[in-house]
Structures are given as C-alpha cells and as structure tokens.
Structure 1
C-alpha cells in the first residue's frame, strides 16, 4: 500500500507538470514543432547538428527546423511518456491490491491521450483533437486525485442532501466551461475580443454560431486557426458569458458547502472559492494584458486544479453510504 501511495502521489505531481508543459507548448505555437510522432524529424530528440538538420528539412521541406519550438514539444512528450509509464506501474501494483476500476480507467485514458497526442500532429492541430487532448489531461489529473483520496482514510462528511444532488449539475457547468475554453484556445480565439466587458462595439451583429461551432473538416493544416474573425469572436464571447455563469454557479455551490460543513469539506470548498476567483481574475488579465504567456499558462493550470478540487468534493460526498446528512 505504501508503494502505491508513493506512485499515485508522484503521478499527481507529474500530471500537473505535464499540463503546464502542454499549455506552454500550445501557447508558444509549438504544437507542430516536431512534424512527426513520437520522434522529431525522424530522430529521438531534436536534430541540432548541421547534417541532422539538413536531413530533417529534406524529409519535411514544408516545416524548417525551429529548435526552440521542437524542444518545447519534445520535452512535453518526454514528461507525458514518463507519466504513462508511471500509470502503467500504478496499474501493475494495483492488481496485487485488487483495486482495478480507477487504475484501469487511468491506463485506458493515458493510452487514449497518447493517441490524441499523435493525432494532434498527424491531423495538424485539428481543434477537436486539441480540445480533446486538453480535456483528457484534465480528466487524467482528476482521476489520479480521486485515486489518491481513495487510498486515504474515509472521513465522515456531514452535508445537506440537496448539496449532494446539486453536485452533478455544478460539475457539468464547470466541465462545459472548460471545454469552451479549450475550443477557444484550439481555434486561436483568445484575442478575438480585447475589450471589456464583452467585446468590441457592434459585437451583437457579428455573431456567427454556425461557423463558430463547426467541426471544420477537410483542411490540411489548422495551425493559427481556420475560422473567420466573426466566428472567433463568437467563440470568445460565449467563453466570457460562460465564465460569468460558471463563476456564479460554482461560487454559490462552494459557499453553501463552506457554510454548512466543517473540517475537510469546508477546506475543499474554500479551496474551490479561491481557485475560482483566481481563475476569473486570470481570464480578465488575459484580455487586458493581451494574453501574456505566463498568465495564459496559469489560466490553463488553475482550471485543471479547479476541476480536480470539485471532483474530489464530489467523491467525498459520495464515498461513504454511512455519511450523515443534515
């Protein structure tokens, strides 16, 4: 059991690092820094010697070697691959503990994440794949956190029955907003509107929902986006509106939990509130400061942790049939 706890704890930390590196890779436009997968221009690492670079550019003449972007991508792949091996180790150790559900889900998900990583390159940053890869990473972190909590002693949780029932729609609201954020990033719409509170003057006449939420199939390359400005602005506006709705819904739920519970649940509710306010502030800063790299990476990372905390709350609410309800 001790070995399993160490492995799962390490995987949680590594998953957070992979999410940070993934955001940094995407935001530095390095998603196609290596035009092949799993190597880089046919090498196991970024080609740096002159004859290797010449060979690489002969293989991929349409994509000259940009070492800084290629290294961003490969470092992300190295850490993601290490996380995959760590999750495989968790699965093997869990077999001996006869804990199969979460380890099996984790192993299946990390394999699917690897496939999404490959498709991100082979499909040239298709927005659906990019968004799916982000959601998969967030889900992986949340499931690892669930497993970590599953290995801890189960505390008695005292909450209102209504709060247990309301958890699922609140989780759905947050997940939908994260998906909308992923769609915004994948379609390069983060700077489609740079004024507050909603968008530039006349934005209501520019909305284009059909194109904004189309799958955009058939393009050879999706780098830097294929949407029109009006479609990108529509996605951006919906993400802003979703942010306000999410702030109100999740904050109301967290405040209700904080006021009516104690101990662990009260602390988790407080953490959600802090992360929620921080996330909303980072979103505003992205607009005002025109998407600074560090701020944008933090916005992605805090969203992952917000989802993780809310999922842990749900798990704690549902884990004990003997939990008391006010």
Structure 2
C-alpha cells in the first residue's frame, strides 16, 4: 500500500513541471521537458549532497519507505523510538524528512523521464533526436535507484555512495546533452574544432576528481588535513594508500573489520587535494585558450570562474572546518563544471562537423 502512496507523491510533484511545460506556448514542448528535467536533476544532485552532508542518509534505515510507511509523519512513532534509543544516532525526525524528500524528488524525476519516453515515441518522426535517448535515460535512472537502495541497505558503504554520486552526475550530463540536441546552437569558428581533444581530456580529469571528491565525502575524510598547503605540517605526511583506497569495505572499517586508520583518511584527502592542482591547471589553460573564439567566450569565462570558485570553496572547507553551505557550493560547482564542459564539447563537436561538411563539399 505504501508503494502506491509513494508513487502518488512522486506523480504529484512531477505534475508541477509537467503542467508548466504543457502550458508553455510553442511546439518544442519536448525540448522544454528535457530542460526542466535537467534542472530538477541538478537540484536532486544538490539535495543528495545536502542529505549526505547532514548525515541524513540513514534517516530512514529502510527503503523505499520510512519504517514501512510513505512518510515520516506516518512513521513518527518508530522514528521517535529509534531516536530515544540512540539520541546520537542517524535517525531523527529532521533527518528522516530530509532523506524522504530526496526520495520523493527522485520519484518525480523518474516520472518526468517516463513522460519523455512517451512523448519521444509519440513524436519520433518530428523530433531532432532518437527516441532511444529517453529510453537509455530511463534505464540509467533505474540503475541509479538501485544504488540508492543499496546506499541505505549497505549502511552507506563508501564505494556504493561514490557510485551513486557518479551515476547521478552521469544522468545529469546525459540529460544536458539531450537538451542541447533539442535547441539551436551557435556554431563556433572552424579553428575551435582542434580543441575538442583538450576538452575531452578536461572532462576526463574532472570526472576523476569528482570521483576522488565523492570518495573523500563518503569516507568523511574532509577534515583529515586541517592545514594548508601542507597536511599536518608536512608536504608528504604519513599515509596508507592501500587501506584508504580499499574499495569494498564498510564505512569507517577496513576489509578485515578493523577501524580505518587516520593515515588512510589522510591518503584519501591528500590525493583529492593534490589532483585538484592538475585539474585546475588544465581547465584554466583550456579556458584561456578558448576565450579567443567569440561563440565560446561566455562558456570559457564561466569555466575560469567555476575553477576559481572550486579552488576557493575547497580551501574554505579545510580552513573553516567543513561548513555546510560551503560544502554544498563546492558540490554544486563540480556539477556546474561538468555541465559546462559537456556544453563546450557539444559546441566544438558541431564546429568539427561543420568543418568536415565543408571539406566534403570541396
């Protein structure tokens, strides 16, 4: 019964953006639907970060409901009993609502993607994209939902939490790519096409850095080094990389079941911090180079600004002891960087296709 209630909640939330899209004038309702879904996905990624940063991931220790109910309001007795039994534990009424709001938004996102599938196949002869795109997105969000369930049932196992984050950003990026395909684009100068490999490398470096950041967050290693630019007063502090990057283990434990050491947490933090220099230098150089193209100037400036923002918020997280707002901005900045690089890659790919088309005519 509560599964039906959860579904109705997701549908009701999804009806708000669906109604907005339907009431908009113009023929390109599918493109508007994809953009609205992309925005909701970005919001969901941020809310997922908020859920993790507020330690609300186990606010409802079962899945998909909360103590077998569709909302914390219905399950309030079980929540209060759990909180009374373990006041410092992960279950409180506030955390339960945060966790369930995250699930409600995920359900609404699933409804919007199902709507995309229906519209895409009904209008497949007139759409500029393949109807299989939304189908692939639907499969992806189902996989993402499975990892969301395992995040809870496996008690925030770091590798599951990290994969859950990466899948969420993959969904965000795929939706953004689909949205770009549904709208006209300004074609950059032909010379911009030679920078596509550099953009791809930048995107790959960013994905690695996001994965490292997810691993830091999943292992609560943000404050493993609280000084800068050194760590515990040393450029190369004692570190245990083997234990720190042991993937399949419980939160806070080694594979053998012992408590994870401080040296392992330092290794996790140190790797993310120092790889950030590699990513920043590459993206800053790329942004400066791409500013020469008028059609890419806004995106290039955005790239420079976001890299600067990420460096500042990353440093602030260390020096200010991981404030919630700064951590959220840092997470959101990473997602925006991903979107921006996808947009750059798409525009440069259009430029390369234009060059090839011109060469073929000659």
TM normalised by structure 1 equals 0.90
Structure label with greater radius of gyration: 2
Counterpart residue number, 1:128: 159
Pair 53,181 (structure 1): closer, same or farther in 2 beyond 3 Å = closer
Match of 2:231 in 1: 199
Instruction: Tell me which of 36, 39, 43 is aligned to 1:10.
Output: 36
Shift of residue 126 of structure 1? 0.8
TM-aligned CA distance change 1:272 to 1:88, over 3 Å: same
CA contact (8 A) 2:206 2:338 kept: yes
Mapped partners of 1:271, 1:150: distance in 2: 21
Alpha-carbon separation, structure 2, partners of 1:196 and 1:51: 46
Which residue of the partner structure matches residue 90 of structure 1?
116
1:18-60 CA-partner distances (Å, limit 9, x unpaired): 11111111001111111000000111101467655578789x9
- Give the unaligned 5+ runs of structure 1: none
* Partner deviation per Cα, 1:100-151 (whole Å, 9 max, x = no partner): 2431221121111111100000111111110111111111111111111111
Q: Name the residue aligned to 2:303.
A: 272
**In structure 2, what is the Cα distance between the partners aligned to 1:49 and 1:290?**
34
1:319 match: secondary structure: helix
CA 321–104 in structure 1, closer or farther in 2 if over 3 Å, else same: farther
Please tell me the root mean square deviation across aligned C-alpha atoms, in Å: 2.6
Instruction: Give the drift of 1:313.
Output: 0.9
Match of 1:245 among 275, 278, 284: 278
Q: Deviations over 1:266-321 (max 9, x none)?
A: 21111111111111111011011010001101110110010111011111111355
Under a length normalisation based on structure 2, what TM-score does the superposition of the two structures give?
Answer: 0.82
Partner Cα distance (1:66, 1:274) in 2: 38
Relative distance call for 1:213 and 1:160 in structure 2 (3 A) is same
Query: Cα 1:64–1:231, aligned 2, differ >3 Å: closer, same or farther?
Result: closer
For the Cα contact (< 8 Å) 2:291–2:300, is it kept in 1?
yes
State the alpha-carbon separation in 2 of the partners of residues 115 and 175 from structure 1: 21
Aligned partners of 1:181 and 1:317: how far apart in 2? 28
Q: Structure 1's 250 and 51: CA in aligned 2 closer, same or farther, altered over 3 A?
A: closer
Query: What secondary structure, in the 3-state scheme, does the structure 2 residue paired with 1:129 have?
Result: helix
Residue in 2 aligned with 1:163?
Answer: 195
| Distance 1:237-1:168 versus aligned 2 partners, 3 A rule | same
Aligned residues: 320
Matched, 1:22 2:30: no
Matched, 1:301 2:332: yes
Tell me how far apart the structure 2 counterparts of residues 135 and 226 of structure 1 sit (CA, whole Å).
26
> SS of the counterpart of 1:40?
coil
Match in the other structure for 1:190: 222
